[in-house]
A and B are shown apart, each in its own frame.
Chain A
Amino acid sequence: MVRMSGAKALVEALKRENVKVIFGIPGGAILPVYDVLYDADIWHILMRHEQCAAHAADGYARASGQVGVCMSTSGPGATNLVTGIANAYMDSSPVVAITGQVPRPFIGKDAFQETDIVGITTPITKCNFQVRSAAEIPKIVRTAFYIASTGRHGPVLIDLPRDTQIEEAEMNFDEKIELRGYKPVYEPHPLQIEKAVQLLIQAERPVIVAGGGVIASNACSELVTLAETLLAPVATTLMGKGAIPEDHPLSLGMLGMHGTVAANYMVQDADVLLAVGMRFSDRSTGNIKTFCPNGKIIHIDIDSSEIGKNVRPHIPIVADAKKALQAIYNRLIEKFNRKERSVWLNRVQELKRMHEEMVKNSGDGIKPPALMAEIRRILPNNAIITTEVGQNQMWAALYLKVYKPRTFISSGGLGTMGFGFPAAIGAKVACPNVPVVDIAGDGSFIMTEQDLASSVAWKLPVIVIVLNNSVLGMVAQWQRLFYNRRYSAVDLKRIPDFVKLAEAYGAQGLRAQSIEEFRWALKTALNSDVTTVIDVPISSEENVLPMVPPGQDLRNLMLS
């Protein structure tokens, strides 16, 4: 037991959780904590908007596999975090958000900058806490980190009334945490594993779908080993991109509304579908009634509430993806004889060739699929790619091959424009020696562009590639396809000039009008130690293809 203030205890507890960096913005209700941070050996990165602080913590978490931490003051600081917290929740990213709050006697009195952040974030956090006395702080911090980073990962919020930061108490940093209502299940049930193995042995056309859970549980090598043993092709969800190297012969690419031909067709044709760490989101399944119509589904997820939520599997397995894949593999090799699957696998290669055809640049100007392929050629394999939301994101998902887990970071569940750039900053903090590139749309980048300031100030040289079509491209695509080209509220009027914008922040601004110019620009950026924005003007008439119109069968792919 040591006597200290709540603020000191918070920082001490964070250090004990191995926190190296906090993304945040100070304000009145969190000042005592910032005073302690002033000479603590935790790096505080001053962001320029709390939303960016939350996204940066999220990007940091996804790139490193460690809990990301963001901090804000009460009221508007806290509400600015909300989008970032919701984003982390939808994508199961381990983030701890710390907010200041008005002093305890003022709570409920509508005091200056009071907001009910605990109430607001209840449905978008795994769990949240409001500190009631300083002495609780060490235990609450440990509990928060434990919950965020175990089971199905997710954000946890700690709300600290200002007076609990000042209050002194005897602090116990070793108090046991007991959570009667939280006991994540990691080990798969042997009986379920047995059933899954039986099904996989009999399968003629097995397909695996890997989601973000595979990456979160570091189960990628287990996934690939199992796929190679079964000779089962692997599709991924957006969140699962990177779970299998996308140059692997069994990789089908992404599945769903903007899935590849290979992924969508193979999944629909499967007789056994092994779904791991994914949640059958509508973007992945298309019309749920016609999803994988003749397949028996094995669903592995650590969150039992995901099982049976959208799709009723034949074999449910509640477990950690890594443990379940290992268990299946270990049982399988005892009795499995490799099957002859040349017809099935030839079909994979044939469908994949169709996809490669779509990458070829034809006509004038820069075509996004070709641009993605070019980016891949230039970047080293370990480079981290983040994306914004919209066409840019889907082009990256479809045409930019990813070879390693945690090198593709995108807002999957919430689809948050403005996520990619601050997430890139967070990823750069986690992996300073690796190039980090945000594939952006002009509309999205404007939403969080102000953090060019923090990126430059903190010497976190990320690269932003703006696919500048001067429209809210994905919305325009829907209007073109489904609303008779009535382009309502999507014209961005070529504002701003992104080169000048970058320069205004002390970043490097480059423009590329052709693939050759782009090659030069990206290489220049990679060799530079300052944040670089590459403006790439493209046509505003491009569609991201393939596309399955909403609510339709995954096979109904529009290819042109």
Chain B
Amino acid sequence: MGMEREENIYMISAIVEHKPGVLYSISNMFRRRGFNIESISVGEAEQPDLARMTITIKGDEMLVEQVVKQLKKLISVIKVSILDPKNTVARELALIKVSTPDARVRSDVINYTEIFKGHVVDVAHESLIIEITGDTDKINAFIELMKPFGIREIARTGIAALPRGMRSVKME
């Protein structure tokens, strides 16, 4: 004992059965074990009966090991891996609705959006919706930039991630 307790952000990729109740059993397990999840995203995976979950969690090595083991213990969870941040592509998508009361603000917002390689996906009289993808830091930076203009609503997907190259987290 007396282990080093260094807190880090870990990304976990899990292949799970794509059926009712699975998300509930996973999120319920996180709640009951007191694991604090930073972000979670789910979507269909390579096969339609499988879903891929990407979970980001802050903690030390022992905690992450427990998270992985507790996930594996669930019968509907098929495969779990910790992703190495250096060899992982991680992206998040955010939709941000910004107030644009006049033309000057509007053009500022559009300029920033271009710099961040985002897209304007909805235009209304007094607001724009911007779609932006990237890693969490980039999205956070963009949100900070938008704050002074007045953010009305934000929807973020949570992180989706895959290991680079030939490494894979999938069903054999």
Q: Hey, which bits of chain A sit against chain B, CB under 8 A?
A: 118-119, 122-123, 126-127, 147, 179-182, 289, 303-305, 307-309, 311-312
Contacts and interface: CB of A to CB of B under 8 A. Distances in A.
B72 A304 contact: yes
Given A309-B66, A312-B3, A312-B62, A118 B21 contact: yes
Interface string B72-89: 111111110000000000
B1 interface: yes
A305 B3 CA distance: 18
A122 B24 contact: yes
Interface stretch (B25-33, B115-123, B151-159): B25-33
Given A180-B78, A305-B69, A305-B72, 19 more contacts: A119-B24, A122-B21, A122-B28, A123-B29, A126-B75, A147-B75, A181-B74, A181-B77, A182-B75, A304-B72, A304-B73, A305-B70, A305-B73, A307-B69, A308-B66, A308-B69, A309-B66, A309-B69, A312-B3
Nearest to B1: A312
Interface of B: 1, 3, 16-17, 21, 24-25, 28-29, 32, 62, 65-66, 69-70, 72-79, 171
A181 B70 contact: no
A181 B18 CA distance: 12
A181 B66 contact: no
B72 A180 contact: no
Contact of B17 (A118, A119, A122, A180): A180
Contacts of B70: 305
Contacts of A308: 62, 65-66, 69
Given A119-B24, A312-B1, A312-B3, A179 B75 contact: yes
Nearest to A304: B69
B13 to A, nearest CB: 15
Contacts of B25: 122
B78 A181 contact: yes
A305 B78 contact: no
B1 A303 contact: no
23 contacts: A122-B24, A122-B25, A122-B28, A123-B28, A123-B32, A127-B76, A147-B75, A179-B75, A180-B171, A181-B72, A181-B74, A181-B75, A181-B76, A182-B75, A289-B1, A303-B73, A304-B69, A305-B70, A305-B73, A308-B66, A311-B1, A312-B1, A312-B3
A307 B70 CA distance: 11
Contacts of B24: 119, 122
B32 to A, nearest CB: 5
A305 B78 CA distance: 15
A127 B75 contact: yes
A473 B29 CA distance: 35
Contacts of B3: 312
A537 B130 CA distance: 77
Contacts of B66: 305, 308-309
Name the residue in A127, A180, A181 with the highest tally of chain B Cβ atoms < 10 Å from its Cβ.
A181
Nearest to A309: B66
Contacts of A179: 75
A181 B78 CA distance: 4
Contacts of B28: 122-123
Of all A-B residue pairs in the complex, the 6 with the closest CB atoms, nearest first, are A305-B69, A181-B78, A127-B75, A180-B78, A182-B75, A305-B73
A194 B69 CA distance: 24
A12 to B, nearest CB: 24
A318 to B, nearest CB: 10
Nearest to A130: B21
B52 to A, nearest CB: 14
Nearest to B61: A308
A127 B17 CA distance: 13
A139 to B, nearest CB: 14
Nearest to B79: A181
B5 to A, nearest CB: 12
A181 to B, nearest CB: 4
Contacts of A147: 75
Contacts of A305: 66, 69-70, 72-73
Contacts of A289: 1
Contacts of B21: 118, 122
Contacts of B75: 126-127, 147, 179, 181-182
A119 B17 CA distance: 17
Contacts of B73: 303-305
A303 B66 CA distance: 12
Nearest to B70: A305
A305 B33 CA distance: 12
B27 to A, nearest CB: 10
A309 B34 CA distance: 13
Contacts of B78: 180-181
A35 B74 CA distance: 35
Contacts of A181: 16-17, 72, 74-79
Contacts of A309: 66, 69
